[in-house]
Structure formats: C-alpha cells, structure tokens
Structure 1
Amino acid sequence: MGKVIAVCVSEKRGTQKTNVSKATFLPDFGIANDAHAGHWHRQVSLLSYDKILAFKARGAEVNDGAFGENLVVEGIDFRSLPIGAILRCNDVVLEMTQIGKECHHGCEIFHKMGECIMPTEGVFAKVLVGGTIGVGDEMTIDPVKEGQ
C-alpha cells in the first residue's frame, strides 16, 4: 500500500508541475486542468517518493512536480510493476500503460542537474474510473492475475 505525497498539475507541457494537494481525475482523459490530459495512453504520470529522495540526496534541490510527475507516492515502487497493473486510490482506478520515457531536450531538471529520473523511474497510466485524489490518500495495487 502507498500514500500519496503530492498531486501535481501544469498548464503547459515541458514545464514543472505544481502541487495542488487535490485533483479531479476524469475517465479516459486524465487530470482536470493538466496539460498532459487527453485521450492517449499517458494521461497520468507517477513517481515513487523514495526515487525522488534518492535524487535529492545527490544534491538536487527539487520540489514536488519538478520532474513533470502528477502523483508522488510513498511505499510503492512503480518501476517494479508490470504494464497493465491496476492502481486504486479512493474511487479512482488507473491502469499502468508505460514505464519510463524519452527525456525531451527542454526538460528543466535535465538542464539544471544534468540528468532527470522521469525517463528511468517514471511510469504512466490511463484513468479507467474517475474521482478525486488528494495528499495523504492511500493507493493500492490489485493483485496480478495468472497469465498477466
């Protein structure tokens, strides 16, 4: 089980996101008022809190949303989950669709630090069932069924 540490959105792609503490997740679209929302497979981005702490330990001064992540969650290693994993938080149901991504050249963190953890540690999901997620909420992972 995990705990939501931050819920972040941005108005423009390629910029750092801001922790808004609570957001509305829309089915097959993403987070209301987030630049990355849309009808595609990367509606919501997630990062494990411990990966951010490890990056900070190397001298990075980063705030929630700095990597373009929508959700920061403590207690879940998203990178270890398979594509298709189902995540639940309150009424919201997310399906993991992608692990990692190519870092674009305009990434603010890459320019500051010389590296970014989103390409290796970030995961993406689509919203199957909408609702609201806020800081402090619990997230669970559905057990993976045989053959998945």
Structure 2
Amino acid sequence: MPVVLSLNIAQQTLPVDYAQVGTTGIDKRPVPGPLRVSAPGPKGSSGSGVEGDAIADQAHHGGDHQAVYGYAREDLDWWQGELGAELRNGQFGENLTTQGIDHTHALVGERWRVGTALLEVTAPRIPCKTFAGFLEQRGWVKRFTRAERPGAYFRVLEAGSVATGDEIAVVHRPDHDITVGLFFRALLTDAGLLPRLLEAGDSVPPEVVELVHRRTSTTLDS
C-alpha cells in the first residue's frame, strides 16, 4: 500500500545568495503532523497549501496548482546512487515524501486520497537555480532534466489533514495519457508536445495553458 513516508515543511524562509528573491523555503524538514492541507488561492497572492509551510518566491511557487509538492522515496534513493550522497526526506523541497507510488507516470488530473485530503496531480516540478544552489550541485538543472524524475505538484480538491504514515489511494484516473513525465518533456525538451497538455483540461496550471496558446499562436503566425 502506498504511504506518506514523510510530511515535510519549511517553518521559515532562509536568506541565501542563490535565490532570485534572496530567501527560500526549499529547506523542508520532516514533521509528524497531522497538518491541514487546503487550497491556498491563486499563485502570486498565496503560498503553500500545507499548514505551517513557508514559501519565499510566491511568483513562481505555491498557489492552487502548486499547493503540495510530492516526491517518491524511490527516486530519492536513485539520486543517492547517482550523487554518492545521502538524501534525507524533504531534501528536494517536497512536502510529501512517498513510498510505493510512481509520480512520473501519474496522469495529470489523477486524484489521490491522502489522509483525509483529496489531491489532484497538476504538473511536474521544473528545476531552477535555487534548487541547484541548495543542493550545491553544478549543472544540476541539466542533470535533473535529463533524469526525468521531476516529482508531482498537486492541487487540493478537498481540504483535510495529512500525517506521516497515512495511506495513499488513487481514486480517479482521467481518460487521457498525459503523464507528469510527458508534461515535463513538453516544457523542457520537446516543445512539440505542448499542445497535447491541453488534453488534461483544467488540471493544467493557467500559466502553462497561456504558454501553450502563446507558442501555438507564434507557430501559426510564422
């Protein structure tokens, strides 16, 4: 049975020189919970969907379609082998470190019952300078992109509580084949896939929908 191996939050933002806004909440640490999970509101005017979790760069992180970030322990273990270093739960900035469930092949719009909350898969995590700086890895953005193990963002359809050890149940799979991995490739390595993201409907973050329309319009005009 898939479970929440660890529930992780940043209880405060930290001043750093590698973050665009000068501070970051990427350094998330395990807490037992339970913590309330809820829809925080639109990006740019709200933060994390997880109670007590701090986000610094609200222009690029947080908001309804990035309310919760999940990463599989299995993928962290794979990275441990690649990097030759121990990676604790929460070290990739994830709120949920899971065990027994695949994020990369999850469908956008797939719904997971986690604790008493209902979460919906919305998008992959896109690597950034802050992520690279926090891990102290040169060339990290390119390396993370090549690996195609991005983890998944979720929006909260039903607020509830989540704690370490809670079971995860997939309660709905949409009728399309747009996975988190395909979404990741469309944004970073294969722009020809971008129009397909619209097949996932309103599960797709609004800024990505705008990107697809803008790219499509540019292609048609050229």
TM-score clears 0.5 = yes
Deviations 1:37-79 (A, max 9, x none): 8533111000011001111123122211111000011110111
Counterpart of 1:144 (choices 145, 164, 173) is 173
The number of aligned residues is: 147
Aligned residue in 2 for 1:5? 5
Q: Gapped runs of 5+ residues in structure 2?
A: 14-23, 41-48, 56-60, 177-199, 201-222
Structure with greater strand percent: 1
Query: Normalised by the size of structure 1, how large is the TM-score?
Result: 0.85
Matched, 1:89 2:114: yes
Q: Secondary structure at the match of 2:85?
A: coil
2:4 alignment partner AA: V
| RMSD (CA atoms) | 2.4
Deviations 1:74-104 (A, max 9, x none): 1101110111110111211011111131323
Structure 1 residue runs of 4+, over 4 Å off?
A: 116-119
1:100 alignment partner AA: R
Structure with greater helix percent: 2
Aligned residue in 1 for 2:208? none
Q: Report % sequence identity.
A: 25
Aligned residue in 1 for 2:183? none
Bigger Cα Rg: 2
1:14 Cα offset (Å): 4.4
Q: Does the Cα contact within 8 Å between 1:93 and 1:130 map onto a contact in 2?
A: yes
Query: Normalised by the size of structure 2, how large is the TM-score?
Result: 0.59
State how far apart, in whole Å, the 2-side matches of 1:38 and 1:45 are: 9
State how far apart, in whole Å, the 2-side matches of 1:84 and 1:77 are: 14
State how far apart, in whole Å, the 1-side matches of 2:140 and 2:99 are: 22
